[in-house]
């Protein structure tokens, strides 16, 4: 059992507040991913949870016990560092057994627990090697092994894949997902990569400037972003965000004038004259024969499995459209675009979502 509870957690560095009051409950066996741009405070928050950074305000509870002033090793959490932080002069086995050795666990038990962890991670052939003689992926696994051996209440991962190459990153990501499934323990994972967040998380916490923007399952964030920041952050290619004004509304549907002059109707009652931002995912836009938004194709990217087109519709940003790979759009072509289904998100002037039309 391990439930982590963050109550109005704050961190202040010499008058600069970097964590501005975070409330979050992480349930037992949950895989929570903290995601956000660089400098948003997600790593700092993880280090506060680990006990490596002092908590300036609020309460941090593990299983209902306040642990603000408990030293890191007594919190029962294990951390996997970005640089792996293996002890270079110790062998793989010694690295993994270090915590147990300090805790005074007798050698036979130590060896057994190291062996079990090594087998799960396919490290058993490397136990006598030094970290310098391991590849990046192997070092990563040793770092995870060192955490597993301690049988912690929860695992903390601080951008663990950012030092690996792309192919290895995908593979290790799958291994971590498998590991969570096998160990059934609570995990907190920090990353700036939204793909890692979407694929691994039970719940994603999106951070921006020291505050939580939204908490939800990957699909909740994808379908119902709470605000413009989350809308722009989750999804690739990015959601099209276009300024718009309500032109008319008949009580059931409203017609919007988009920046650039195109008209767009949404099944929602809105106040005419209201200024808002409409969000359209590139994968939810289709090419139609006529009507909709007209735009000239400026750039076409053929990715093999799909084709991305960027069309100028007169707005500040070109409209990004995801098309099938066999689509034969050409640069300079004039096309008409329409939203597929009723999948537009609307945001008011403050950037908060107006209850999505499909909801």
What are the residues binding other proteins (CB under 8 A)? 50-52, 71-73, 77-79, 81-83, 85-89, 98-99, 102-103, 130, 132, 146, 150
Q: What are phi and psi of 176, to 5 degrees?
A: -65, -40
Q: For residue 182, list its beta bridge partners.
A: none
The DSSP secondary structure of 13-44, one letter per residue, reads ETTEEEEEEEEEEE-TT-EEEEE-STTSSHHH
Nearer to other proteins, 103 or 299 (CB): 103
* Nearest residue (CB) to other proteins, 3 versus 81: 81
CA atoms within 13 A on the CB side of 18: 19
Q: How far is the CB of 44 from other proteins (least distance, A)?
A: 13
CB-based burial of residue 76 (10 Å sphere; 0-12 exposed, 13-18 middle, 19+ buried)? middle
Q: How many helices (H) and strands (E) does the chain have?
A: 8, 21
- Burial of residue 159 (number of CB atoms within 10 Å: 0-12, 13-18, 19+): buried
- Which CB, 40 or 86, lies closer to other proteins? 86
**Shortest Å distance, C-beta 180 to other proteins:** 19
What's the min distance (Å) between Cβ of 50 and other proteins?
Answer: 6
H/E stretch holding 207: strand 203-208
The DSSP output letter for 105 is -
Kindly tell me which of 140 and 254 has the beta carbon lying closer to other proteins.
Answer: 140
Strands 334-339 and 293-302 turn out to be antiparallel
* 96 closest CA partner among 139, 56, 53: 139
Give CA–CA dist 254/272, Å, rounded. 8
Closer residue to other proteins, CB minimum distance, 81 or 237: 81
Closest CB 266 distance from other proteins, rounded Å: 49
Which CB sits closer to other proteins, 77 or 246? Answer: 77
In whole angstroms, the minimum distance from the beta carbon of 104 to other proteins comes to: 10
CB of 105 to other proteins, least distance (A): 11
Instruction: For other proteins, give the closer residue by CB, 111 or 306.
Output: 111
| In the complex, least distance from residue 81 CB atom to other proteins, rounded to whole angstroms | 4
């Amino acid at each position: 059992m391990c439930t982590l509870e963050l109550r109005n957690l704050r961190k202040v560095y010499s008058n600069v507040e970097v964590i501005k009051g975070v409330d979050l409950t992480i349930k037992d066996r949950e895989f929570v991913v903290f995601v956000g741009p660089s400098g948003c405070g997600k790593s700092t928050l993880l280090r506060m949870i680990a006990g490596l950074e002092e908590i300036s305000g609020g309460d941090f509870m593990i299983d209902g016990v306040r642990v603000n002033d408990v030293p890191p090793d007594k919190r029962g959490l294990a951390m996997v560092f970005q640089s792996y932080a293996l002890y270079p002069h110790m062998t793989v086995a010694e690295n993994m057994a270090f915590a147990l050795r300090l805790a005074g666990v007798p050698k036979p038990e130590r060896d057994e627990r190291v062996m079990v962890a090594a087998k799960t991670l396919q490290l058993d052939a490397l136990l006598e090697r030094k970290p310098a003689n391991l590849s990046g992926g192997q070092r990563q696994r040793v770092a995870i092994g060192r955490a597993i051996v301690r049988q912690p209440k929860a695992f903390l991962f601080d951008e663990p894949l950012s030092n690996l190459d792309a192919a290895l990153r995908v593979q290790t990501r799958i291994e971590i997902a498998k590991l969570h499934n096998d160990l059934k323990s609570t995990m907190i994972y920090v990353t700036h990569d939204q793909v890692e967040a979407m694929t691994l998380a039970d719940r994603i916490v999106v951070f921006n400037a020291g505050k939580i923007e939204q908490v939800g399952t990957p699909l909740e964030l994808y379908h119902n972003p709470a605000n413009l920041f989350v809308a722009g952050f989750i999804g690739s290619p990015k959601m099209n965000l276009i300024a718009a004004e309500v032109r008319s509304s008949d009580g059931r549907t409203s017609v919007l004038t988009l920046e650039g002059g195109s008209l767009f109707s949404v099944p929602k009652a809105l106040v005419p004259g209201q200024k808002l931002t409409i969000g359209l995912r590139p994968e939810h836009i289709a090419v139609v024969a006529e009507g909709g938004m007209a735009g000239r194709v400026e750039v076409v990217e053929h990715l093999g499995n799909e084709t991305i087109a960027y069309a100028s519709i007169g707005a500040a940003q070109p409209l990004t459209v995801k098309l099938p790979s066999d689509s034969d759009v050409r640069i300079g072509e004039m096309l008409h675009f329409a939203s597929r289904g009723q999948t537009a998100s609307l945001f008011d002037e403050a950037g908060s979502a107006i209850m999505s039309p499909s909801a």
